[in-house]
Structure 1
Amino acid sequence: MPRPDPFEVAFVVEDDGGQSISSVTVDVEGKSALSDASGKASFELDSGSYQVSFSKDNYVTYNETY
């Protein structure tokens, strides 16, 4: 059975007030990207569950499984 193509997953990082946060390191099980000026970080992922970590100096690191 052929493996399905990966799909784009985008995370948008915002503070409690809804303001975008840039330069946040978003780590998805070994793949990393920095959020851009609009707080967006994108990945090509296969279907499944992933452990995701969001980190930036002077902010609390946040971990979640999606």
Structure 2
Amino acid sequence: MDDDENLPHNANDPLVLLVKQDLDPLSVDELDQRIAALKTEISRCEAKRNFAVSHRASADNLFKR
């Protein structure tokens, strides 16, 4: 499976740009900071997804016949 397969198709998408960045020039400390920032972003995305799922379930329940 190609890693690019799961990326958005827009070349200017921030995720595409992030994944294509060269990590070679980064120090261990910079890599640790990057990992921490990405973990924080993952948590933020998961919280938003969980809210959306819950909100959708509530709306489905409200309009259920």
TM-score, scaled relative to structure 1: 0.24
- Structure with the bigger percentage of helix: 2
Q: Looking at CA atoms only, which structure, 1 or 2, has the larger radius of gyration?
A: 2
- Specify which structure has the bigger relative contact order, considering alpha-carbon pairs within 8 angstroms and separated by 6 or more residues: 1
Higher strand share: 1
